Amino acid sequence: MTSPLFRTKSVEQSIQDTEEPEHALKKSLSALDLTVFGVGVIIGTGIFVLTGKVAKESAGPATALAFVVAGVVCALAALCYAEFASTVPVAGSAYTFSYASLGELPAWIIGWDLVLEFALGTAVVAVGWSGYVRSLMDNAGWHLPETLTGPDATDGFGFDLLAFALVLVLTAILVLGMKLSARVTTVVVAIKVAVVLIVIIAGAFFIKADNYKPFIPKAQDVPAGDSIQSPLIQLMFGYAPTNFGVLGIFTAASVVFFAFIGFDIVATAAEETKLPQRDMPRGILGSLLICTVLYVAVSIVVTGMQHYSELSVDAPLADAFKATGHPFYAGIISFGAAVGLTTVCMILLLGQTRVFFAMSRDGLLPRFFSHVHPKYKTPHRPTILLGVLIAVLAGFTSLNELAELVNIGTLFAFVVVALSVIILRRTRPDLERAFRTPMVPLVPILSVAASVWLMLNLPAETWLRFGIWMALGFVVYFAYGRSHSQLGRRGKQLSADDAR
């Protein structure tokens, strides 16, 4: 007999639960909306910041190849997500997928982690957005009091008013409906992509061929204590990584990978998509392809404009234009970064509320949060609750305290989804799959291997935080979720009916 901890929720039951009127989300999104969402959340600080860091420290002009490697790793995971999102078009993404294949406890674990990751991600992005906006305001001669610019600016009380206000405004937009959210995102993404294209086109005129020499700089050993990789790598494999050279490209890929995180959030909107079987794969894979092309193009341009050894780490694109005597473009880039982070923040918040909503509809969190708004058909209760909590977190949080927290939960989700594809192919070969991951089990196995490798590259502090949050999650599950599970209650009811 299967343990209650690993009881699975059938795909048919998951879809049936979405049809209950008071728990049903409105279907309003198209493939274009999903692609825009994906581009909106992927293109953020990564393209504006990480390019300079990895070029200067790890790969030189070969940074473009590092983006290609990272894009391939994400593509492996994206193929797995596309199969699940089209087969199980239910809110919750990796949480829902693992519930259908691995069981309730694994589903709870991944859902619990994604809630934390999206919350921290939203707060970090909001604080970063605030910094860009304050910089633009300072250039215009407008200055906020130090006490309203966050704890980083003062030794005493500090509250980041701009970050707080941004999260509240985005919360209101998400409550009012997915179509409104999609329209706002479309406008903002159009501005953001236009800025990126300006960087590519304008920067192309300032490229100097000599800056590409050598394209792959000679390898150098990382000095002791300066390794950008986790101590786990050296502990398990007994070697220190290298800067530059061919191996430096893979070291760089482990860093720029995090510039791609976000495409998986598209899967959380599966339940609100008009034709998920067709549009989900298009949205997930399309947004990833677009962003990979833009990332590669930007890295080629910026390393051609300025020698990699001279690139700025904090603002490489803007400073590269300043170095060539064109500060006007630097201002445009700062504006684009500020605008771009708006959509990143909103879509991270969107992803979190959908995972929370799915978990509450299954009874693992209070069912109070699984009711949709009677007019807007959005999960307004978890959206408002989480929006207010994250707004307060963003207002009182120092960026330095959160900036180093990388998304280990997303990589963990990649592993879970890839394994789930293999398991569900064996347990439910009869399911109609509008999109099928090619070369199963090879592609999912490669996705697991690549994700685990990148997880090993994360700092030890990230693993410690991950462990503490997971331990707390086990306590919540056994204290509340296990006994309130809708799936468990249905099982008990069926057993009682059989006994009679």
- How far is residue 453 CA from its own chain's centroid? 18
- Residue 136: predicted pLDDT: 75
CA distances from 458 to 253, 258, 400, 407, 466 (A): 13, 11, 17, 9, 11
Cα distance between residue 409 and residue 114, in whole Å: 6
- Residue 482: predicted pLDDT: 93
- Residue 403: predicted pLDDT: 44
Q: 399 and 46 in contact (C-beta within 8 Å)?
A: no
pTM comes to: 0.82
Length of the chain: 500
Terminal CA-CA length for the chain: 21
Which residues, 6+ apart, have CB-to-CB distance to 476 below 8 Å?
A: 112
CA distances from 95 to 102, 113, 229, 231 (A): 10, 10, 29, 30
Rounded mean pLDDT for each run of 10 residues along the chain, 500 residues in total: 79 84 81 88 75 85 92 91 87 86 91 84 82 76 76 68 93 84 82 89 93 86 48 60 76 78 79 88 92 93 92 79 83 80 86 91 93 89 95 77 59 88 91 90 94 78 82 94 89 59
- Residue 1: predicted pLDDT: 44
Cα distance between residue 435 and residue 2, in whole Å: 30
- Residue 419: predicted pLDDT: 92
